[in-house]
Structure 1
């Protein structure tokens, strides 16, 4: 049988299917495109053309190596080193949570509600910087501070800021939530996608998440609410009166997080659903 892109795709799909990868065909296709530096249009045109194994040896070898890596359940985005979020291409690695489409709900909401304005924004638990950088790029926000406890995550976030914005557009700070921030600095908007998965739930997650994404970005402690308690309490010292908070939540955490914010003196609490119709963002005003 002649070696073609279609044959390689089927070969990769079979390997990933046997490894239990959920979207084996799709992932094999992404890796094929990555290895051969092609896209869907050119793949459809060329997929049945015979490949010269001599001329394409390095590409074929790279593709098969990536398939083998993916078969170990290492996330696709960590293999390619990139992930699309809000139409932007973000660098990702093993030190940051891979940006999810769910989080676009939060970013889209802030962009809509602050259109034409230049609020001072604090992105707490920034990870890859996907929220902070997206707000700066798409909203033109020029006073954004991004905070994370992980030095390695901040390196990835800074790289994304440099790639998508250039230097100096976002201020980065290494801190355990607000611990290292100056209290006299006040923000108009505080956003966060904190760790919110209860510890006991993590063991049952897909291997890609459980074994390869940073535990720091996943573990919300016993009930998943540890960071929301701190955010609700500590945000008050860093937000302007009339300022707003926007927190991503798990689908079943709206009532609990709303209660924490209400008890901390926030009002105008709203629950925003994601594209799938699940509760995804809690937002509130500090009075």
Structure 2
């Protein structure tokens, strides 16, 4: 008997529930919509629309991959972030709602029509950089990542969002080669998970996310030790920075930036009420030696 949108959704939910997967209701809907080329409204308004044999086979493939804990974002090749939709794959970290806290912190400091420039270190899919540029039409930005595969994803996303003209993307080692006092804003979501912790994470992360985007060294702080002085170096006097952190890294990361000369350093909590973003400024009176 042919499957329709309603029975496909119900069957997908049950299959994912039997597999013990978290969030089976939402995952099932997303996979059915993609497989059947349907919208959420279609499932409500036209629930008895039949799937073609090809769509049924595609849904079965999607569900099988999800049962093996492949993230829905990688199965579908896309993930929503802030107000934009991004292409994602196994070469980039899937953007998470927690990271939107960076946008909450930085956007209020930069007027919508002002011309300013932003640097995103470890740009990955381009999530933070492109979300900022989408909100601030007079801004321009540079994204740097050590992974050429990640840069390719970010370039595709910039083009798809019509932002390629304002977003330069460069393969590089953090801020190496960039000039002093060059940027009004620097943002970063660096790897911050302690090496030994990675294997204990849910399979969607431990098995499918790029390790280079996760591994922060023995204590999770390796990237911040490099970034703190470098971010202060490339910021203009009075420039702002914001970096995502792990929930238990507030004191250590704040200290690293203060030692490097940052002022007005503070930490903002995310919607789950966990420490998430360390932000601050470069002394506006600082001048080059």
**Fold match by TM threshold 0.5:** yes
Asked whether the 8 Å contact 1:137–1:165 carries over to 2, the reply is no
| Displacement after TM superposition at 1:92 (Å) | 0.4
Q: Select 1:186's aligned residue among 182, 190, 204.
A: 182
Is the Cα contact below 8 Å between 2:181 and 2:237 reproduced in 1? no
* 1:26 paired to 2:23: no
Deviation of 1:183 after TM superposition, in Å, equals 2.3
Structure 2 unaligned segments of length 5 or more: list them: 284-289
Q: Distance in 1 between matches of 2:185 and 2:142?
A: 10
CA contact (8 A) 1:31 1:67 kept: yes
Look up the match of 1:241: 237
Does residue 37 of the first structure (1) align with residue 33 of the second (2)?
A: no
Q: Secondary structure at the match of 1:247?
A: strand
* Contact 2:90–2:210 (8 Å) recurs in 1: yes
1:267 CA drift (Å): 1.1
Give the C-alpha shift of residue 141 in structure 1: 4.4
Kindly provide the CA deviation profile for residues 78-100 of structure 1, in whole angstroms up to 9, marking residues without a partner as x: 01111011121110000000011
Which stretches in structure 1 are left out of the alignment for 5+ residues?
none
Task: Determine which of 121, 134, 137 is the counterpart of 1:140.
Answer: 137
Alpha-carbon distance between aligned partners in 2 of 1:261 and 1:50, rounded to the nearest angstrom = 57
Q: CA deviation at 1:27?
A: 0.7
- Superposed displacement of residue 147, structure 1: 0.4
Structure 1 residues 143 and 46: alpha-carbon distance in aligned structure 2, compared to 1, 3 A threshold: closer
2:190 aligned counterpart, secondary structure: coil
Within 5 A, what are the aligned runs for 1:1-287?
3-47=3-47, 49=48, 51=50, 56-116=52-112, 117-179=114-176, 181-184=177-180, 186-287=182-283
Bigger shift: residues 165-174 or 254-263: 165-174
Structure 1 143/277 Cα, relative in aligned 2: closer, same or farther at 3 Å?
same
TM-score of the aligned structures, taking structure 1 as reference length: 0.94
User: Does the CA contact (< 8 Å) of 1:2 and 1:50 recur in 2?
Assistant: no
TM-score (norm 2): 0.93
